[in-house]
Structure 1
């Protein structure tokens, strides 16, 4: 499995996605800090404490990498079915199930690691600059940090499962645009903030979507032997 994953990473030159993730880190940091500095200079009271900003950071990071995951699904799976290059792979003496499982494992691991690392990086940079320039009237406490870490990991696990949902829509007609658009719609629904409330705050919803995503991945692996690409 690990060897298959390594070969897939080399084949699709997925190092470019890591570079993209690094760029996304700095873009998110820049956007968050821009909003905070503008609010401070205008004397706005839109953000009163760290919890509000940390929630926005977490939501932004998860949304970004759920869409990243959809582009990976489109490249590693949907694109190969659409171009029929997957038929060549199916001719090799390699289990179809292991091949698809390796592709999905890459997507899940990338999404999970990217969300955790980006969340911690953006939060660390923001907190350091916020404390230095007093961007918030609130004070950062040790309890906030201890609560943040498990929350980041749990949200990353849920988002990794959720990121697989677009696979279902993409496999319908082997459509790359449908795969990516469905991920954007999921992010818009889950991450939209209305008066400080989002559907992600209802713990059952992200867990349910994560389980649906895992179920879709399981069915994709289980049924791959029955799929005949012409």
Structure 2
């Protein structure tokens, strides 16, 4: 499995993903700072505690990289079927299940790693910026920062499972637009943020969506032997 993962990484040259993640972190930080700053002045989005700040950061990061995961699914899985290059891989003396499992494992690993790192980076940048340019009317301490970043990890893991849901829609007609488009629908549900009814922190929903994503991935791997690549 490890060799297959290395081959997938070499094959698709994931430098674009790293560059995209760095750019996304910068944009997320700028957007979060702007939204919170404007909200404090206009009162449209009440940010009264440091938990509100980190919930918004977590929601933004998870939403962004669920979409990134759908792009990975499209490139590593859906396009392989659409262009029939998967047939070449299926001709190797390796189990089809292992081939697809390696692709989905790589996608999950990249997604959860990027989400965790991005949460730390964006929250850290906000913490530093707030020291020099006060954005919120309360102090963010280092202990609060560490505690909130740690609390974001389980949500990032759950969101990794959720990010696999677009696989179902993409595999139906081997459609890249359906894969990426469905991720936007997933984001609208999983990352909905509202001070009154915030689905992004509703643990049963997050775990339920994660379970659905894992089941879809499992079924996709299990049915690989029985599905014609054409």
Q: TM-score, length-normalised on structure 2? A: 0.93
Deviations 1:47-68 (A, max 9, x none): 3332212111100000000000
1:135 aligns with 2:104: no
Pairing of 1:77-88 with structure 2 (within 5 A)? 77-88=77-88
CA distance in 1, matches of 2:221, 2:39: 49
2:205 alignment counterpart = 205
User: CA shift at 1:39, angstroms?
Assistant: 5.0
1:93 alignment counterpart = 93
- Segments ≥4 residues shifted beyond 4 Å: 37-40
Q: Please tell me whether the aligned partners of residues 5 and 103 of structure 1 are also in contact (alpha carbons under 8 angstroms).
A: yes
2:105 alignment counterpart = 105
CA distance in 1, matches of 2:168, 2:37: 41
1:171 aligns with 2:171: yes
Pairing of 1:1-230 with structure 2 (within 5 A)? 1-39=1-39, 43-45=41-43, 46-230=46-230
Deviations 1:134-168 (A, max 9, x none): 22111223552343133211011000000001101
CA distance in 2, matches of 1:28, 1:138: 21
User: CA shift at 1:196, angstroms?
Assistant: 4.2
User: CA shift at 1:131, angstroms?
Assistant: 2.4
Q: Please tell me whether the aligned partners of residues 97 and 225 of structure 1 are also in contact (alpha carbons under 8 angstroms).
A: yes
Q: Please tell me whether the aligned partners of residues 73 and 167 of structure 2 are also in contact (alpha carbons under 8 angstroms).
A: yes
Q: Please tell me whether the aligned partners of residues 51 and 148 of structure 2 are also in contact (alpha carbons under 8 angstroms).
A: no
CA change 1:203–1:37 in 2 (3 A) is closer
- Which consecutive residues of structure 2, in runs of 5 or more, have no partner in the other structure? none
Q: Please tell me whether the aligned partners of residues 193 and 200 of structure 2 are also in contact (alpha carbons under 8 angstroms).
A: no
- Which consecutive residues of structure 1, in runs of 5 or more, have no partner in the other structure? none
Q: TM-score, length-normalised on structure 1? A: 0.93
Q: Please tell me whether the aligned partners of residues 123 and 145 of structure 2 are also in contact (alpha carbons under 8 angstroms).
A: no
How much is the aligned-residue C-alpha RMSD, in angstroms?
A: 1.6
Q: How many residues align?
A: 228
Secondary structure at 2:47 match in 1: coil
Deviations 1:156-204 (A, max 9, x none): 1000000001101111111111111111001012222234432232211
